[in-house]
Amino acid sequence: MLSTSGPADGSETAEIIDNALRKCPHDRGAPVRDLLAEAQALVESAANCLAAAESLQEADGHRQLVEDFLNQTLEDADEADQLMERALEEELAAGKAEAAAGQAAAGAGVSVTLGAEQLAVRADSQATEAKQLITGEKDREARMLRSRCDDIRWQAQLLLSRM
């Protein structure tokens, strides 16, 4: 018997309630944001950006060694065979590092063409944004995520300082 009376007894309560609900300014269909999930996604993207930046920096280091080894081969013919072998190994290592950078960048939804510096800056920014999203959260998962944000930001700053 939880209903309003109808027009039979002269009451139009249901219609009045229905009209009031239609005039309500609040959006009843708005989705509820899952800040922890948003923060987690940002942290994952930041970690992938950082991994891509580190791999690109590693690839640059390997390529610099390749260049150095090739120059040395011209100066010292006796060491040419050994240095060429090392250069080929470094080239292989550079290729692997670039492949890792491509995979990590793809995981972040970005391209390695941004370069190591921009990827590191992006990682720092995303980790900062993720941490801000969950600042008020007190549970264990949020604390661990904030700690990971701090770690990513520290690694990004260290990477940037080495550039």
Answer whether residue 1 shows pLDDT above 70: no
Lowest mean pLDDT among 79-83, 100-104, 108-112, 117-121: 79-83
pLDDT tens, position by position, 16-42: 777 776 777 766 665 678 899 999 989
What pLDDT does 57 receive? Answer: 92
Question: How much is the pTM?
Answer: 0.58
Burial class (CB in 10 A: 0-12, 13-18, 19+), 86: middle
pLDDT 10s digits, 47-69: 999 888 999 899 999 999 989 98
Cβ atoms 104, 55 nearer than 8 A: yes
* Least confidently predicted of 8-17, 40-49, 101-110: 8-17
Q: Are 153 and 47 in contact (CB under 8 A)?
A: no
Confidence bin at 110 (pLDDT 50/70/90): very high
The Cα 114–Cα 126 span in angstroms is 15
Dist. CA 108–CA 102, nearest whole Å: 10
Give pLDDT tens digits for 134-162.
999 999 999 999 999 999 999 999 999 99
pLDDT, position 6: 59
